[in-house]
Structure 1
């Protein structure tokens, strides 16, 4: 699959020192937390990915205490694909809040370099949409043309400055979405670490990103996300209507996908606990079985997050 990665360990008390996993060497030493707060199945799944050559990064923390309960290579900067839209949404929400950006300003699709390989907007009859609706499309469907329109409107420099102001020194939105990437284009849309992504989502739900209004707006957009196919598949939530769950789950998330890249970050709150998480896997997408093995690992994490929260 790709280059070897350190395999994560559960954290019990002070963060554990990660040990390098090699294909032909010792297996991961188990230091699982007690009872349902362990992540032993996730550890096994991620270890298998790492031993097959995938690069894996994970950070899971208790939302109330901020203490990490599972971490591995969470300082390593990796491609995060569409998850790079979150800092952009924060900048859009900040502009709307301070009055420098009109949420009803109309953006014409014809003024953009079109992405024709994915997205919803290209299938809609409306040739132009307001900024606020573009933010909804970007958050719910990762629509590349909506993301590109917002990025064109606010500008790369403002997004870079916002990322820096948020203290995310290892995260960057490098480029817009494209149908294909040439030698003169950035190799990735965005990069980041699971530690910074998890901390950002924790700050959003704790109303600590810029101010309460901006945090609430971005959280609201993300709560509409339709992609519940990775970690979130284990929640049992309705992908199209999960803001008001009958069983009291609080959930927001964002995913990123590219060839050989799967990533998700989010917050899950239940009656027992709240947890923030981020998981990235970079792998050689050689067959559907390679891809499904990665997807299965995300879902295993989802099961154990649900056990942690409930």
Structure 2
């Protein structure tokens, strides 16, 4: 699913300036929930100077539910793992990469920003297990090992083949970024992140097999602390919910950056969503205010799909 190079004329910005005017994102899907609480929370963040990109699409109707600066390209931190996983799964399917190829941890530059492989006793793991670690725990070392194996040019080519023009994986994960390093791991817009997750659950990302594999890896994600906190799901076992809730997500975190994208489906509706918030992380209060906005969105999404 591609993204137009320029935003539609009626797309209203959700960009705050300290002391400046602002407008809320437009709402579509007449007769459905208005997302009033989400708009209020995002408006408060924008008033404090946060940069926000948000997009929600109804999967059944193929219509936009909510959009605000959804075309703006912003840092997305660990969300850049998703196109990497798509490329890895595509290579597995094509036979150009062996899922059980063993990678020695010592062969990858140490990075301690996130993940569990650095703490495990096992000094080596197969690529397929590294993919699961990268998807489920945001394991930076595992992601770097995968990226080293498939190569950054291949991931960029895959993103282009998917029709994404604002999504970019720029660099590997690092504990500290120097002057010669890319300023961010990845960049993207809420519009394309929501589209990417919609393609995964609709089995149109590369192929049905690749879409299913990446969705399976992501369905085991442990971070349910933002939008997903409203689902009430078990962070460690939520792929088969007894209440018929379908949920796949990925989060990204960095200094002053929080992002989540995914798919949430219930008996009433299904949605693909993405929210990126870039804020001044000056205190715990600033951080919690950003987190609260994600949780408010989660509550509104739950009311929409149920």
2:179 is matched with 183
1:232 is matched with 228
Instruction: Pick closer, same or farther for the CA change 1:308–1:184 going to 2, 3 Å.
Output: same
2:266 is matched with 270
Secondary structure of the corresponding residue to residue 275 of structure 1:
strand
Q: Work out which of the residue numbers 8, 12, 31 in structure 2 matches 1:18.
A: 12
Instruction: Pick closer, same or farther for the CA change 1:68–1:183 going to 2, 3 Å.
Output: same
Please tell me whether residue 52 in structure 1 is matched to residue 48 in structure 2.
yes
Unaligned runs of 5+ in 1: 1-13
Structure 2 counterparts to residues 121-270 of structure 1, below 5 A? 121-270=117-266
Q: Work out which of the residue numbers 112, 115, 129 in structure 2 matches 1:116.
A: 112
Alignment root-mean-square deviation, CA: 1.7
Instruction: Pick closer, same or farther for the CA change 1:309–1:114 going to 2, 3 Å.
Output: same
Mapped partners of 2:84, 2:27: distance in 1 = 37
2:58 is matched with 62
Unaligned runs of 5+ in 2: 1-7
Measured after TM superposition, the shift of residue 66 of structure 1 is: 1.9
Q: How many residues in Structure 1 have an aligned counterpart in Structure 2?
A: 297
The question of whether the paired residues in 1 share the 8 Å contact of 2:271 and 2:305 is answered with yes
Please tell me whether residue 281 in structure 1 is matched to residue 270 in structure 2.
no
Mapped partners of 1:69, 1:15: distance in 2 = 17
Measured after TM superposition, the shift of residue 15 of structure 1 is: 8.7
Measured after TM superposition, the shift of residue 37 of structure 1 is: 1.6
Secondary structure of the corresponding residue to residue 251 of structure 1:
strand
Calculate the TM-score normalised by the size of structure 2. Answer: 0.93
Measured after TM superposition, the shift of residue 260 of structure 1 is: 0.2
The question of whether the paired residues in 2 share the 8 Å contact of 1:15 and 1:68 is answered with no
2:3 is matched with none
Measured after TM superposition, the shift of residue 64 of structure 1 is: 1.3
Measured after TM superposition, the shift of residue 117 of structure 1 is: 3.6
1:68-92 CA distance string (max 9 Å, x none):
1100111110000000000000000
Mapped partners of 1:30, 1:205: distance in 2 = 26
Instruction: Pick closer, same or farther for the CA change 1:45–1:165 going to 2, 3 Å.
Output: same
Mapped partners of 1:290, 1:30: distance in 2 = 22
Moved more, 234-243 or 111-120: 111-120
Calculate the TM-score normalised by the size of structure 1. Answer: 0.92
The question of whether the paired residues in 2 share the 8 Å contact of 1:194 and 1:279 is answered with yes
Instruction: Pick closer, same or farther for the CA change 1:239–1:207 going to 2, 3 Å.
Output: same
Runs of 4+ in structure 1 off by over 3 angstroms are 14-17, 19-36
Mapped partners of 1:196, 1:150: distance in 2 = 23
Measured after TM superposition, the shift of residue 105 of structure 1 is: 0.2
